[in-house]
Amino acid sequence: MSAIGAFNPDHKENNAFITFTKHFKSNGLRVPEFYIDDKKSGTYLIEDLGDITLFSLLSKTRKDKKFPEKVTSFYKQALKHLIRFQFDASKGLDYSVCYPRISFDKQSIMWDLNYLKYYFLKLTKTVFDEQLLENDFSKFAEFLLSADINNFMYRDFQSRNIMIKDEKLYFIDYQGGRKGALQYDVASLLYDAKADLPQKIRDELVEFYTEILFNKIKINREEFLKHYYGYVLIRILQAMGAYGFRGLYEKKVHFLKSIPFAIKNLKWLLDKKLLPDGLPELQKSLQNIINNKELSKFEFQESHDKLKVTINSFSYKQGIPIDLSGNGGGFVFDCRSLPNPGRLEKYKELTGRDKDIIFFLENKSTVKDFLENIFKISEDSVKNYIERKFTSLVINFGCTGGQHRSVYSAEKLTAYLKSKFDITVELNHTGLEKKGES
């Protein structure tokens, strides 16, 4: 027997998971066997279902843009199981253990929308009118709650939480379950950002789900789909809040990689005019996200055949750029101790790439000494990284405005490393880009 030991100090969340597991198991649903728990310590043992998820299978078998038939079949099986969770398992379920809320009510929806506001919109400096946006949030919540919200809602029904063992599907991570709309979990599965299902496959799968559903209960198809796309939106927005918190705030690159996929889904919804009417500020905010060129930078190559050195100039007012390689480390050189040409009126509008600024800085001995030391440190690191077959090094130069000294230094190091090594060197002037300069 292989088991997984879990620890969670949140006893209420543990109670929800354990209660749900036992109830689902008694109803014949494929969830892990529950073995034993120690409520006092917050630990428990459950069945080990292996390490193959629907997402990992999709990632492994997808070739070019052709979607594997085997994976489509698994998605259809997952939707059949979902209906069992939503209806069969809902009967007799003790909803009093749901955590943190018994239902996906207005409070829950506002939490998700404010998660987006504070951890994505504000962190990406997306322009919006806060009061108007709050008004739209409230209207949007009312629209979502006009759907039937009296069935079991899994809450995180997505491909990473669907395990494959002996060619059968098993389900995990349902401790956030509660009463809610049927559409939410379908949206979670089909619009899971990084799974990036082709729209044709999404349409086929939602049609498959609704056919089974309509055979089970009488429902207005047009109304169901109208609410469905509303729940697609709330799910995307909740996920983007998570990407902002985990990626932009906590600097975990794994989450940043999902942002371009989420934006792609947002754009599709807006282009197809599938958002509810009467939400002008929300629509404007989403359009501002789509138009934000900075966010497209998170779509990058996973690996490189040879060492890639990324050199950034930046303004300390904006903060040190995120290391998109996911490796962390690298160098941050502070140029603020160097003579500042930006203090002179004639140089204020120029940058570290202009000949007058270059001439000004090249004739300062402190700048020369500063760069010589950096050249030596960087060269030694590059040699070591090449020898150890590392693929990424990030070097940052910061100054007050990210316009003169940091730009000049980044340009100089870029030229130096290109002349010395057969490596890929990427240069970014983040301060200038924010001002609209290329």
57-61 mean pLDDT: 92
Closest residue by Cα to residue 438 from 427, 288, 425: 427
- Percent of the chain predicted with pLDDT > 70: 97
Integer angstrom CA distances of residue 403 from 277, 335, 357, 364:
43, 11, 10, 18
- Percent of the chain predicted with pLDDT > 90: 86
Q: For 243-273, what is each residue's pLDDT tens digit?
A: 999 988 887 878 888 999 999 999 999 999 9
pLDDT for position 327: 74
107-116 mean pLDDT: 97
Total length of the chain:
438
Contacts made by residues 315-319, CB under 8 angstroms, sequence distance 24+:
315/398, 315/399, 315/400, 315/401, 315/402, 315/403, 315/406, 315/430, 315/431, 315/434, 316/398, 316/399, 316/400, 316/402, 317/400, 317/401, 317/402, 318/402, 318/430, 318/431, 318/434
Selected from 3.40.1440.10, 3.90.1200.10, 3.30.420.40, 3.40.50.720, the CATH number assigned to the domain covering 3-297 reads 3.90.1200.10
Q: For 280-312, what is each residue's pLDDT tens digit?
A: 999 999 999 999 887 877 765 444 568 999 999
Q: For 125-159, what is each residue's pLDDT tens digit?
A: 899 999 999 999 999 999 999 999 999 999 999 99
8 Å CB contact between 46 and 33: yes
The answer to whether residue 200 scores a pLDDT higher than 60 is yes
Domain spans of the chain?
3-297, 301-434
